[in-house]
Structure formats: C-alpha cells, structure tokens
Amino acid sequence: MLNDRHFMGFVANTSINLGLAILAAILCAYIAPAAAGSGIPEVKAYLNGIDAHSILAPSTLFVKIFGSIFGVAAGFVVGKEGPMVHTGACIANLLGQGGSKKYHLTWRWLRYFKNDRDRRDLITCGAAAGVAGAFRAPVGGVLFALEEAASWWRSALLWRTFFTTAVVAVVLRGFIEFCRSGRCGLFGQGGLIMFDVNSAKNSYSSADLLAVIFLGVIGGIFGSFYNYLVDKVLRTYSIINERGPIFKVLLVAAVSLLTSCCSYGLPWLSHCIPCPSYLEADRCPTVGRSGNYKNFQCPAGHYNDLASLFLNTNDDAIRNLFSSGTSKEFHLSTLLVFFVAIYCLGIITYGIAVPSGLFIPVILAGASYGRLVGNLLGALSDLDTGLFALLGAASFLGGTMRMTVSLCVILLELTNNLLMLPLVMLVLLISKTVADSFNQGVYDQIVKLKGLPYLEAHAEPYMKNLVASDVVSGPLITFSGVEKVGNIMHALHLTRHNGFPVIDEPPLTPAPELCGLVLRSHLLVLLKGKKFTKQKTMAGSDIMRRFKAHDFAKAGSGKGVKLEDLDIKEEEMEMFVDLHPITNTSPYTVVETMSLAKAAVLFRQLALRHLCVVPKTPGRPPIVGILTRHDFMPEHVLGLYPHVVNRHK
C-alpha cells in the first residue's frame, strides 16, 4: 500500500509538471519563439545595436512572463532571473516605442523616446530593473546592466539605471512589508535579502585561502565545461526545434519527464537521517511548503536529505545549501548525486522552448559543488560548509558568466555577508581567469550561436593589416541631391540597404561632392508624403512645411512605413524629389587608406550604423563606399582575406 501511495504521488507530480511544461512550451512555440531561453543574450545583442524585430515585441513579453511562471512551476531546473531581465527590457521597449498600437495601448507623451539613444537607455534601465527585482539587488542590477548588458555607457545612463533600481528597491520593499504577514505565500519570506548567510566565524587562515583558491580553479574549469556543453546541446536542439513547433513541444515534454523522474526518483537513493536533537519537532521534519528538512518516505523524526534539495523550490534548495552551522545535514553522497543531477539537468534544460534563466541552475550546481568540497576539505579548513557553498556558487557563476563586479555585488546583496567579500572577489577572479583560457562567456557564446552580428569592443589584431576600402563590399548606390522618384523606388526595391549617400552634382556645385547620408526609413516617409516636383529644383523649405519632425522619428521595431505601403503612380515615377531636407549632412567619414582597426574603433565607440569611406585622391567620385556593422564581422573580413590572420603572425 505504501508503494502504491508513492507511485500515485509520482504520477501526480509528474503529470502536473508535464501539464505545466507543455503549457509553457505551447505558448513559446506557437506565439513567441523569441521568448525561449534566458533572454539576456538577446537584450545584450539589442543594446549592441542589433535591431531584430521579435526580440522585444509585446507577444514576447506576454509569453516570457507566463512561460517563465509555468516553466519554473513545472519543476524544471531553470531560473526566473534571465526572463525577468528580458521582461524588464520588453516593458521598457514598449514604453520606448510609445506603447503598442496593435493592442491599443499608446501614450502620446512617450513619443519623446522615439530615437535610438533614448530607447537604448530605457531598455538598459529595464534590464537593470529586472536584475534588481529578481535578486532584490538594486546595486547589483545597476552593475549588471553596466558590465554585461550595455555596450555603451555614459554617466547619465549610470544615474538613470540607479534611479530605476532605487524605485524598484522601494517598491519591492513596500510589497515585502505588505506581505510579511504571509498574505502573499512565500513572497514575503527572506525579506530584502534572499539567502541570509550570517556566520559567526569571519576570520580565515592561509589554509582556508588555499582551499578557496583550489575551489576557484576547479569551479572555473567546471564553469567553462558547462558553457561547452550548453553550446553542444543548443546545436543539437536547434536541429530538433527547426523541424516545427510540435517537435519543440515534444522536446519540452521529454525533458520534463526526465526532470520529474530525477527529482522524484533520486531521493530514494538516499537513506533516512534522524533529525538533529537540538531541533524542535515542528522544524524537523518540515511541515509546510518550505524548510530545511523534508520527510519524504522516512519515518517520523527522520528526514531525507536528497529530497530536501530536490523536492523544494529552487530558492529553498539554495537556502539549504548556504545555511551555516549545518555541516552534517547532507551526506557526501547526497551532495554528489545532487550536483551531478543538477549540472546535467541544467545543461539539457537550457535551449528547450521554455523561458529559462541560467543563474539559478548555475548557483544550485555551484553551491552543491562548494558544499561537497567543503565537506571533503572539512579537516583542512575551518570555514563553514555554508560559506563553501557560497564560494562554490561564486566560482561557477564566474566560470560561466565571466562577470566580476556585478556578480560580486549581487552575491553580497543576496547573502548579506560583507565580511566574506574579499574571498568572494578572489574566487570570482580566479574562476573567471581559469575559464577565460578555455572559451567565451555563456551569453557571448549564445549570441554568436544565434548568428547575431555582435560588435566586439576591441578590433581584431589582423584588422591592422587592412585598410577601410579593403572591406567595402557590393556596388554602391548613390542618390543625387534632387533625385528622380523612379530611381529611388528602384534602389529601394533592389537593395535592402538602410543608408544611401547623397551626392550634390553640377550645376548645384562646381564638382560632385558628398552631401551626406539619407536613411531608408526617412526616404519612405518622404515618398509617402508625395511632395514631388516636375523639375529638378531644390524645394527644401516647401517640403519641410509638409512634415513635422516627429514624422521622421524612429518607429517601433517592425513598425513604420513599409515599401509595400507606397503607392507611387507611373507619372510620379518621372518626377523629382529634393533629398536635402532629410539628409544627414555631417556623416562620420574615414579616408579609404585608414587602418581598418581604427575604423572599427571609430564605428564601435560612436555606436554608428553607417560609416562613409571617402577617397584619398581627388578626381574620383566623392564616396568609395559605406561600411556597416556586417563589414566588420570577422567572418566577413576573413572570408575576403583568409590569409590575413597568418600574415599577422
């Protein structure tokens, strides 16, 4: 009968998990595929200037929120932190594009954000708010946005993100205060500090330092190996996921079943342990939803240590692992089993069609690894095993994500243990250094895997051997200052370029000269306005009376005038339009003989989308070509000049 009851429990547990998982997968696969995964790589890419439509769309926001709730509830080894960053960024984007026309949520005053820079600032603030909310770490949120998310940083942005996270902190604090009475379930628990680690013992010897260095080195290796495996698994999954939404759902179902089997099956491997004598009966075994000691299949007064980790919320499992003064609570074998299971489940779970953060799996694996090392080195070191768990989590985070200051502050705000700061810093530095010698950080790796043209902060060394004109590609399409409508339409149909040089020619000027750069989106607005002239004359002021400045404001991603929306008649095709009013007459330029490395630095530092290459010698057309983000990608450059790397050596 006992076996029957446990089997019923297993069936109930598994089927509820499976149901929630399939729900999350359906949302994700059919409504917004962009909502799968962590979201941090996507936000990072967006802030680098990659304007992919679906990354921050309202549908992604909706699926991210509910998919994440269902995914976490389904018992997957996933976190809610990455999705919360993405959610914050999506909300910021919604505000930045003035609300959503599709869903009839628009505000007029938000039109002031309709430009690249302010929108980027808003989204950075959104990402910071996400971290601040997820970890209850306002300063950590600012630093995360600075170190990991943003590609460009200004002091004004520092101040804005700080303001955002301060508001988050005050609001969060209010909610926690309101919920302290237990009205909101587990939300009020833990207060502002999620995993309070207050250890009486704050001093450490040089033997402890050695132990910590060892922990950091091995943690770095495990972390980079984690990245390696995540990359492999993602490549495998992408083959499955490409075959259609139904395959995505099936993959999720399979992983959900595996997870349920592990979390319900593995605790049977563990033996029952009698409760510590100093604890009262109502604290061990635990009654209620959360707590250190889970009874599972054990008799009264005993607990199953593996069940205390598996059959708990992820937050509670971390809290158990971090708890101090409980070095005997978990068996060595329990920690080993839990570590291996979480490490593997974390890797195979990332990449399925469910919003899934990486922080929690990495912290869980790291904390169990740290506690394991702590138990093994117990004889050598005086440090508490809870502290070892904290340092282990730090080493894994450093090894996978490769952040330093932000992780340090987030861990500080998570655990409230300021005195361990030097050790946490040391571990992070060591594990990051070790892991950096193997591969890239996990988010950079995912950005690369998705094929997004991410612009690195530094120029590649081989770029010093090339000049700007070497990588200019394709036939250049230029417009005259006053251009025939038909030519413009032809060019817009023919190419997908987003910027075109405008050249003033005789008789307007004595010789052809570069007037500036015109954007596709502005051209479309201008053509839609149909302010054409029969003759080739400058009608600038006339045109500007027709338009207002905000007509040319940057529309929401995927919005704005489209080429198909234009309805130009045959006779209009032969008419002329004056491009001067919409031409940017101060485009950044480089001479064709400029070193490509220096051009790349210019492009990156000024956050450009187009860089004009002008000829060095007179008597030639006034522009040689336009460099865009794609022209600086290593794949493009090395495709053109495969031997340039060797030349450098």
CB of 174 to a second copy, least distance (A): 9
The residue behind tokens 């993405």 is 86
Which residue, 34 or 596, is less far from a second copy as judged by CB? 596
Q: Is 585 in the site for a second copy (CB under 8 A)?
A: yes
The 8-class DSSP code of residue 148 comes to I
Q: Of the candidates 7, 103, 159, 268, which one interacts with a second copy according to CB under 8 A?
A: 159
Which one, 29 or 128, has the nearer CB to a second copy?
128
Tokens read off for 171:
């609001």
DSSP label at 298?
A: S
Contact call for residue 155 and a second copy (CB under 8 A): yes
Question: What is the DSSP secondary structure assignment for residue 632, as one 8-state letter?
Answer: G
Query: What residues form DSSP beta bridges with 75?
Result: none
Distance CA 495, CA 614 (A): 21
DSSP 587: -
Interaction of residue 506 with a second copy, rule CB under 8 A: no
Residue 590, interface with a second copy (CB under 8 A)?
Answer: yes
Q: Are 270 and 485 in contact (CB under 8 A)?
A: no
47 near a second copy, rule: CB under 8 A: no
Residue in 182, 274, 301, 422 binding a second copy, rule: CB under 8 A: 422
Q: What is the DSSP string of 525-558?
A: HHHHHT--BSSS---HHHHHHH--GGGGSPPPTT
Q: Is 416 in the site for a second copy (CB under 8 A)?
A: yes
Given candidates 77, 149, 169, 627, which one binds a second copy under the rule CB under 8 A? 169
| Residue 192 in the binding site for a second copy (CB under 8 A) | yes
Number of residues that bind a second copy (CB under 8 A): 68
Q: Strands of 426-546 (E only): list them.
A: 479-480, 482-484, 499-504, 513-519
Query: Which position has the token pair 């596709």?
Result: 520
CB of 426 to a second copy, least distance (A): 6
Amino acid letter, 475 = P
Using the contact rule CB under 8 A, the part of the chain among 181-189, 248-256, 335-343, 405-413 near a second copy is 405-413
In the complex, the smallest distance separating the C-beta of residue 352 from a second copy, rounded to whole angstroms, is 31
State how far the Cα of 495 lies from the Cα of 475, in Å rounded to an integer.
10
Residue whose CB is less far from a second copy, 15 or 585 = 585
Residue 300's contacts (CB-CB under 8 Å, 6 or more residues apart) are 285
* Distance of closest approach, residue 143 Cβ to a second copy, in angstroms: 8
Residue 164 Cβ vs a second copy, minimum distance, rounded to whole Å: 11
Residue 69's Cβ-side half-sphere holds a number of Cα atoms within 13 Å equal to 7
Angstrom distance (rounded) from CA 232 to CA 220? 19
- Pair 468, 590: CB distance under 8 Å: yes
- Show the binding pattern over residues 349-368: x = contacts a second copy (CB under 8 A), - = does not: --------------------
Burial of 538 (0-12, 13-18, 19+ CB in 10 A): middle
**The binder of a second copy chosen from 507, 586, 642, 646 (CB under 8 A):** 586
| Gap between the Cα atoms of 340 and 365, Å rounded | 8
- Residue choice 10, 66, 162, 552 for contact with a second copy (CB under 8 A): 162
Indicate the helix (H) or strand (E) that contains 577.
strand 576-578
In the region spanning residues 518 to 577, those forming contacts with a second copy, defined by CB under 8 A, are none
| Residue 425 engages a second copy in binding (rule: CB under 8 A) | yes
Q: Given candidates 181, 203, 437, 535, which one binds a second copy under the rule CB under 8 A? A: 203
Q: Is 508 in the site for a second copy (CB under 8 A)?
A: no
Where do we find the tokens 């198909």?
564
DSSP 410-465: HHHHHH--GGGHHHHHHHHHHHHHHHHTT---HHHHHHHHTT-----SS--GGGGG
Region 618-637 residues binding a second copy, contact defined as CB under 8 A: 618-619
Identify the residue among 122, 408, 435, 613 touching a second copy (CB under 8 A).
408
Stretch that binds a second copy, among 88-96, 140-148, 281-289, 342-350 (CB under 8 A): 140-148
Q: 250: which residues sit within 8 A by CB, 6+ positions away?
A: none
Among 13, 189, 313, 404, binds a second copy (CB under 8 A): 404
178 is a contact residue toward a second copy (CB under 8 A): no
Measured from the CB of residue 404, what is the shortest distance to a second copy in angstroms?
5
591-610 residues near a second copy, rule: CB under 8 A:
591, 593-595, 598, 601-602, 605-606
Q: How far is the CB of 162 from a second copy (least distance, A)?
A: 5
Q: 485 pairs with which residues across the strands?
A: none
Residues 585 and 515 sit within 8 Å (Cβ to Cβ): yes
Q: Which of 67, 138, 361, 392 binds a second copy (CB under 8 A)?
A: 138
Does residue 158 bind a second copy (CB under 8 A)? yes
- Which residue in 84, 311, 387, 412 binds a second copy (CB under 8 A)? 412
- Chain-centroid distance, C-alpha 630: 21
Angle (nearest 5°) at CA 318 between 313 and 319: 95
Stretch that binds a second copy, among 9-17, 71-79, 214-222, 407-415 (CB under 8 A): 407-415
In the complex with a second copy, the residue whose CB is nearer, 83 or 499, is 499
Where does this chain touch a second copy (CB under 8 A) — which range of 14-22, 42-50, 503-511, 555-563? 503-511
Among candidate residues 193, 88, 83, the one with its CA nearest the CA of residue 139: 193
Candidates 117, 448, 616, 630: give the one binding a second copy (CB under 8 A): 616
Q: Per CB under 8 A, does 589 bind a second copy?
A: yes
Q: Three-state DSSP class for 614?
A: strand
Q: What is the CB neighbour count within 10 angstroms for residue 325?
A: 12
Helix (H) or strand (E) holding 224, with range, is: helix 206-241
Indicate whether 189 belongs to the interface with a second copy (CB under 8 A): no
Q: How far is the CB of 429 from a second copy (least distance, A)?
A: 6
Q: Find, among 89, 40, 86, 46, the residue nearest to 453 by Cα.
A: 46
CB half-sphere exposure, 536, CA atoms < 13 A: 11
> What are the residues binding a second copy (CB under 8 A)?
138-139, 142-143, 146-147, 153-156, 158-159, 162-163, 165-166, 169-170, 172-173, 177, 191-193, 202-203, 209, 404-405, 408-409, 412-413, 416, 418-419, 421-422, 425-426, 429, 432, 457-458, 509-511, 513-514, 585-586, 588-591, 593-595, 598, 601-602, 605-606, 614, 616-619
